[in-house]
């Protein structure tokens, strides 16, 4: 290797508390320079696992694996291996594997029951790490590389009532001092076997209801929310990114957190150049927000409303857009490209998002 190039590769960039070789940036910029706007926008999409032809046609950056997709694990692994070999840029292959009620691996023998966060917070830290390692090994066998966990949400809200995450046994505790030790042990187990994790749900889940199913509003002020953010700050160096909450913090934003540029900017201050992602854009709550006063049907989602939601998510500053309805992917690409053609700010946001995603994939050793 040429001495100058070797020297450049030994320089280090500080990104989100992680030391990354500067030559990563060189490689990323080289690939980014060859990508079309459509390909960059495609990297921003995380969709239900789909046929290779669909993923290739839409330049999709990542797929989400659900419980029903694990009924034939060998077939899933073959399909994922084929996709990773065929696509020009490898996929993020994500799953929500928290344990407890959010146990996507339960279709597999020996995984029918996994301890919840509420249970884990009573375990010794090395036992939590062991569970993380066991789960990561299973994910590796399946061809998965990204876990949408841990939950860093508090067990009590700003009025001292149990949050939905506590009710569902998904919370590690009530403040950063309680949450971080078990969450760190959990994440370390995954990291030990090459699985990256995404913390959720920024800036912390402050309500008693399920924000997937209805517009959930909180009246927490900035000081109360800042307390919840402390756990995200502490965990960020170990994470690949954060997932935004769909809760509407009425004292701080006019929109749900995931669509609020102020809240996403706050997440950016915490996450640095880690990725920021949405939860499912097909969720009932977000549909209710863009269709106020309308009765929301499970499968009906007017194109105009969905296009508005995609635009809001991009303009707010999210890097990865999750959608559980693959048929909407072409529209997402169309919306992002259209916005970028007449708005330079959106074009720059897409460029930044694609860069962060490529850096994440490089950190994960996917290319």
**What is the per-residue DSSP string for 158-213?**
TTSPBPHHHHTT--SBSSHHHHHHHHHHHHHHHHTTT-EEEEEEET----SS-TTT
pLDDT at position 214: 72
In whole angstroms, give the CA distance from residue 196 to residue 96.
Answer: 12
| Full set of structural domains in the chain with CATH | 46-363 (3.20.20.300)
pLDDT at position 297: 64
Q: Kindly state the tokens that stand for 9.
A: 């590769």
pLDDT means over runs of 10, the chain (367 residues)? 34 44 77 96 97 97 96 95 96 98 96 97 98 98 98 96 95 97 98 97 88 81 95 97 95 95 97 96 83 67 88 98 95 97 97 97 92
In whole angstroms, give the CA distance from residue 63 to residue 38.
Answer: 17
Strand 12-15 with 241-244, pairing: unpaired
In whole angstroms, give the CA distance from residue 151 to residue 199.
Answer: 6
Whole-angstrom CA distances from 367 to 20, 70, 195, 340, 360 are: 15, 25, 15, 27, 10
CB-side exposure of 236: number of CA atoms within 13 Å? 22
pLDDT at position 216: 85
pLDDT at position 17: 47
Whole-angstrom CA distances from 185 to 120, 154, 288, 299, 345 are: 10, 17, 37, 39, 39
Q: Which residue's structure tokens are 């990561």?
A: 136
Residues 6+ apart with CB under 8 A from 81: 143
pLDDT at position 352: 97
Beta bridge partners of 147: 95, 197
In whole angstroms, give the CA distance from residue 250 to residue 246.
Answer: 12
3-state secondary structure of 248: strand
pLDDT at position 210: 77
Q: What is the CA radius of gyration of the chain?
A: 20
Strand 97-99 with 217-218, pairing: unpaired
């Amino acid at each position: 290797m040429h001495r100058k190039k070797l020297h450049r590769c030994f320089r280090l960039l500080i990104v989100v508390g992680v030391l990354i070789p500067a030559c990563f940036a060189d490689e990323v910029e080289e690939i980014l320079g060859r990508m079309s706007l459509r390909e960059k926008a495609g990297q921003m999409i995380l969709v239900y696992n789909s046929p290779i032809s669909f993923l290739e046609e839409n330049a999709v950056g990542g797929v989400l694996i659900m419980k029903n997709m694990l009924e034939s694990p060998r077939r899933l692994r073959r399909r994922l291996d084929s996709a990773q070999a065929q696509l020009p840029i490898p996929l993020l292959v994500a799953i929500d594997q928290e344990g407890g009620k959010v146990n996507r691996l339960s279709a597999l023998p020996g995984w029918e029951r996994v301890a919840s966060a509420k249970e884990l917070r009573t375990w010794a830290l090395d036992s939590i790490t062991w569970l993380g390692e066991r789960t990561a090994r299973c994910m590796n066998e399946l061809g998965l590389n990204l876990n949408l966990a841990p939950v860093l949400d508090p067990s009590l809200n700003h009025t001292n009532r149990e949050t939905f995450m506590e009710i569902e046994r998904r919370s590690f505790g009530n403040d950063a001092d309680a949450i971080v030790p078990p969450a760190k042990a959990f994440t370390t187990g995954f990291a030990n076997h090459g699985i990256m994790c995404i913390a959720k749900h920024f800036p912390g889940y402050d309500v008693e209801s399920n924000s997937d199913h209805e517009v959930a509003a909180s009246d927490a002020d900035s000081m109360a929310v800042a307390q919840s953010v402390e756990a995200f700050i502490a965990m960020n160096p170990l994470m690949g990114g954060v997932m935004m909450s769909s809760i509407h913090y009425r004292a701080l934003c006019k929109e749900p957190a995931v669509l609020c540029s102020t809240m996403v900017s706050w997440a950016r201050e915490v996450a640095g150049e880690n990725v920021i992602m949405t939860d499912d854009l097909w969720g009932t709550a977000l549909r209710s927000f863009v269709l106020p006063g309308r009765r929301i049907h499970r499968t009906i989602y007017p194109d105009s409303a969905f296009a508005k939601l995609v635009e809001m998510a991009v303009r707010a500053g999210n890097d990865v857009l999750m959608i559980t309805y693959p048929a909407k992917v072409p529209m997402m690409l169309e919306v992002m490209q259209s916005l970028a053609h007449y708005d330079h700010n959106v074009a720059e946001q897409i460029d930044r998002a694609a860069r962060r995603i490529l850096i994440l994939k490089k950190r994960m050793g996917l290319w």
